[in-house]
Amino acid sequence: MRKEHILALLFFACLWGTSEVALGELLRSAHVSHSSVPLAVVAFMILAVARHFLPWRGSATAIASVAMLFQVLNARFFACHFLAIFLIGLSFDVFSALLRDRSKALLGLAASYASFILFAVLITYVFRYHYWTAGGFEKVARYVGISGSLAALINLAAVPAAHRLGAALRNRSEHAFSFGASRAAGWLTGVTAALWLLGATVHL
């Protein structure tokens, strides 16, 4: 993996991880219903933009693996969020490979449903997290049917829009993450370090 790919991976992972910590805490503090929906939409949009700078298979899962670390750094640690973040990255990779360039809207729809279904089933029936097992199948069905459907419908439009944004950014700054080819790489390194520091030191 080249240095610019490492920087791009860390940048998008830190962007996602910060949104999970900051936006997630804000939504929980405000007692927003279906808080997983905006978090998932932001995550899918970040991955859609990142795909234009990291076009290789498995890049979304790699980004998710780094973003998961922000949950360890956060004072209010939720182990189940590890699984949710990982499954979003995995689902995005799987359906990007299956659909290729046929439909970005369908990618947003299918990957959203897949991540929500896999999370609900695994956390309830495999890992048997008490918060989910107590609700049983009714909780699983409600989570997938309401939260999953809301995320999927929003991502029908959000994922194609993010792909267009990613393509435009790539066209304007093809070497943004390349050291020596662009001044932007230095700025992006600083932003990435700042985001990581925020996750490590600011406990919301």
In which band, very low, low, confident or very high, does the pLDDT at 22 lie, cut at 50, 70 and 90? confident
pLDDT at 204: 45
pLDDT for the residue 180: 60
Residue 154 has what pLDDT? 98
Q: Which residue has the tokens 């890049």?
A: 59
- Domain count across the chain: 1
Range of the domain at 73: 3-201
Query: For residue 20, is pLDDT > 80?
Result: yes
3-state secondary structure the chain: CCHHHHHHHHHHHHHHHHHHHHHHHHHHHCCCCCCHHHHHHHHHHHHHHHCCCCCCCCHHHHHHHHHCHHHHHCCCCCHHHHHHHHHHHHHHHHHHHHHCCCCHHHHHHHHHHHHHHHHHHHHHHHCCCHHHHCCHHHHHHHHHHHHHHHHHHHHHHHHHHHHHHHHHHHHHCCCCCCCCCCCHHHHHHHHHHHHHHHHHHCCC
Which of the pair, 82 or 70, is modelled with greater confidence?
A: 82
pLDDT at 78 (0 to 100): 60
pLDDT tens sequence across 51-71: 999 999 999 999 999 998 876
- 69-80 pLDDT, tens digit per residue, is 876 665 455 667
Q: Indicate whether 142 pLDDT > 50.
A: yes
Q: 60 vs 29, which has greater pLDDT?
A: 60
- pLDDT digit string, tens, across residues 114-129: 999 999 999 999 999 8
Is the pLDDT confidence value at 105 over 70? yes
pLDDT at 202: 53
CB 96 within 8 Å of CB 128: no
